[in-house]
Structure 1
Amino acid sequence: MQRFTIESEYTPYLEAIGFSVDPHFHAESAVRFILDPALGEGSVWVYAKTGHFFIQSMDFYFYEDVSFEYPQFDFISFGYYESLLYADEHEVSTSPYLLGYRSYTQAFKCVIPKQQAVRNHCIVLAPAYYEHHLRKAYPDEYEELLTALEQHCGLIHLPELALLLKQLTHFSGNGAAARLYYESKVAETLALIIDHNHKRGMQKAPLTDLDRDGLAAVLTFIENQCGNYRITLDQLAQLACMSLTKLKYTFKKSYNCTISEYISRIRMQKAKHALEHTQISIGELARNLGYKKTRSFSDYFYAHTGLLPSEYRKLAQGSISLHPQEVEFV
């Protein structure tokens, strides 16, 4: 598993271009790198919650042109850049600017012209944070959070976030105070991004014809295959021609339920119809609907309707009122 520490992600490439750890800087969970005075002036400061996120502040320049490349680790970042950024032969033409960025698998190539200041303040999120921590902390809103993060890659016009990022370097606390402060700033960043997403109305954007066709294909497949307990979300995403994240987000926004909830609803509809109009055994019905165990089907049916399958059948088919001793738990 990726370590996502200062030593693994920052030290190697900074040392390769002339930085070294400042021996006079002492702070818990933070490191200050200083540039060799023969090469330029300035420093890079990094705070880490190991495995979850970095807070980074850079302020330096070189005396001569410097070019380098390094393999990127997996991350999503939001940064306020007070100077030009030269990367992969693309240049942002105006500064300052706010940039959301999602890493990719290719090596990162950077060219820094001589005397060009590199000055930025960034929050860098690890997969363990946006794929696992957020899912656990906000299970109902997770897909919306992840979609908002992914939709904010590129230039962003969000003055409140720019101000937040600029303020990161003004805090001088240490220990628990630093942990509380920086964790709160990461949470505030996410709050600003998702609020911005709401205000832009992105979650209400009309579906394209291709998206509608994809969702229709998913509904048809679920309707025909609801007895297959091996239906996977990856399978449905491929069918819909969407990423898994987009499918789950779009489906929930379109139908006000998750895909799993929808599959369960279809199974219950089919179960009710069978119990109302056939004499199929409860065990066979459970298997036809994709339940491995009859008991699991009965428990879910009871939770959904307030009746056991056998009770529902007798009432639906006009049988006499039941006494407790006559009820089977199937």
Structure 2
Amino acid sequence: MTKSYQSFIEHTGSTLTKKGALLNKCFDTYQFSSEYGKGYTALYQLDSYASICIAEHSYTRDFEYSVTTEDSIVIQQYDSIDSDRRYSHGNVSSGMQYIDYAPGNQTYQYVIKKNVPAKVISVQLLPDYYETYLKKEFGIKGIDLKKDLQVFPHGVVIPEIAAIFSKIRSFNGTELSTRLFFKSKIDELTAILIQKAEEFSLPENRKIIASDRRTVTRITEYVNTHLSKNFLLSELAAEAYMSVSKFKYVFKAVTGQTFSDYIRQKKIEKACELLTQSNLYVAEIAYRLGYKNAGSFSVQFKEYTGVLPSDYRILGIK
């Protein structure tokens, strides 16, 4: 277990439990319930290469603590949070991803706000992976992954990373299949980081000014928490004080997707969560996500996942 996770588990008084574990049984799941709130943190260690963390907490009062980092590359996605975490590049918010190199012995301060659940998934790449394994297994010598990550703006949203996280979150297998699957996903995640770092370095993508990036990030935060609404590009563009054509251009430059593809992905990701973590009927899920009827929802769901919602639910609870 890495120092940062160990610090959080000790601070919350979390205890290791296998009883009623909500995730793949190959994770070590820690749960807590105290005057702070309640929740779980599930950890998976892949040799000396990487660690995976899936956590969901809710707090009854603002929760503050600090943690000392260790040398690593961190890729995190905040599906839900209200936080004043003081990253060097700014605070975090629901729907965003955080990608950065964390040098050792740095202190990060957290203030996680009460009432809004903190739902986070992250991968921490360790030096043995990006300094030794990549060079040995793939002959990658001319890439400095730690340096290349600096091109990613704060509040970036990369759909391919979200898709990988969704697969990691939902996978449930034996010890061997889990190890093989997670290893392949971490390699895939690294490939995406290298590819996207090259794209973000292109002159046309570096022209997007910081204020426009922040505006799109703010809008994605709102969209992510109002998936039942049917948004019009003209309304969102007006909210961003942009023309429709500029909004479409900036949105794709920041997120890597058109708005229609982005909202479709977010709705399907939420549907996957509801199918595996609730007893809602498919028709109820369709209604909650703004679909006209269960039929149109099922068609789009199958196009995205390859299976019908009812089949996904069965597969997801095995």
TM category (shorter chain) comes to: 0.5 to 0.7
Distance across 1 between alignment mates of 2:24 and 2:87:
36
Residue 100 (structure 1) aligns with: 99
Residue 22 (structure 1) aligns with: 17
Residue 304 (structure 1) aligns with: none
Distance across 2 between alignment mates of 1:145 and 1:103:
12
Distance across 1 between alignment mates of 2:137 and 2:111:
39
The answer to whether structure 1 residue 115 and structure 2 residue 121 are counterparts is no
**Change in CA separation of 1:75 and 1:89 when aligned onto 2, cut-off 3 Å:** closer
Residue 47 (structure 1) aligns with: 44
User: Any idea what SS the aligned residue of 1:86 has?
Assistant: coil
Q: Which moved more, 1:15-24 or 1:65-74?
A: 15-24
Residue 54 (structure 2) aligns with: 57
**What TM-score does the superposition give when structure 1 sets the normalisation length?**
0.54
Pairwise CA distance, 1:46 = 1.0
After superposition, what is the alpha-carbon deviation per residue over 1:180-221, rounded to whole angstroms, capped at 9, x for unaligned?
A: 111111111112122223334549999xxxxxxxxxxxxxxx
Pairwise CA distance, 1:124 = 0.8
Matches within 5 A, 1:1-330: 5=1, 8-24=3-19, 25=21, 30-82=27-79, 83-88=81-86, 92=91, 94-104=93-103, 105-143=105-143, 145=145, 147-152=147-152, 154-202=154-202
Contact 1:34 1:42 in 2 (8 A): yes
Pairwise CA distance, 1:108 = 1.7
**Change in CA separation of 1:43 and 1:93 when aligned onto 2, cut-off 3 Å:** closer
**Change in CA separation of 1:153 and 1:124 when aligned onto 2, cut-off 3 Å:** farther
After superposition, what is the alpha-carbon deviation per residue over 1:119-164, rounded to whole angstroms, capped at 9, x for unaligned?
A: 1111110111111111212334542655434533743232121222
**Change in CA separation of 1:57 and 1:142 when aligned onto 2, cut-off 3 Å:** farther
Contact 1:102 1:153 in 2 (8 A): no
List runs of 5+ in structure 1 lacking aligned partners: 207-330
User: Any idea what SS the aligned residue of 2:143 has?
Assistant: helix
**Change in CA separation of 1:158 and 1:144 when aligned onto 2, cut-off 3 Å:** same
User: Any idea what SS the aligned residue of 1:156 has?
Assistant: coil
Distance across 2 between alignment mates of 1:140 and 1:62:
43
Contact 1:29 1:49 in 2 (8 A): no
Q: Please say which structure displays the higher CA radius of gyration.
A: 1
Identity %: 18
Distance across 1 between alignment mates of 2:28 and 2:121:
15
Distance across 1 between alignment mates of 2:82 and 2:168:
20
Residue 223 (structure 2) aligns with: none
Distance across 2 between alignment mates of 1:183 and 1:203:
33
Distance across 2 between alignment mates of 1:130 and 1:58:
24
Contact 2:83 2:93 in 1 (8 A): no
List runs of 5+ in structure 2 lacking aligned partners: 207-318
Contact 1:135 1:142 in 2 (8 A): no
Contact 1:88 1:109 in 2 (8 A): yes
After superposition, what is the alpha-carbon deviation per residue over 1:209-240, rounded to whole angstroms, capped at 9, x for unaligned?
A: xxxxxxxxxxxxxxxxxxxxxxxxxxxxxxxx
- Aligned residue identity for 2:195: D
- Aligned residue identity for 1:66: F
Distance across 1 between alignment mates of 2:153 and 2:44:
23
Q: Which moved more, 1:148-157 or 1:13-22?
A: 148-157
- Aligned residue identity for 1:125: L
Task: Choose between structure 1 and 2 for higher RCO, CA contacts under 8 A separated by at least 6 residues.
Answer: 2
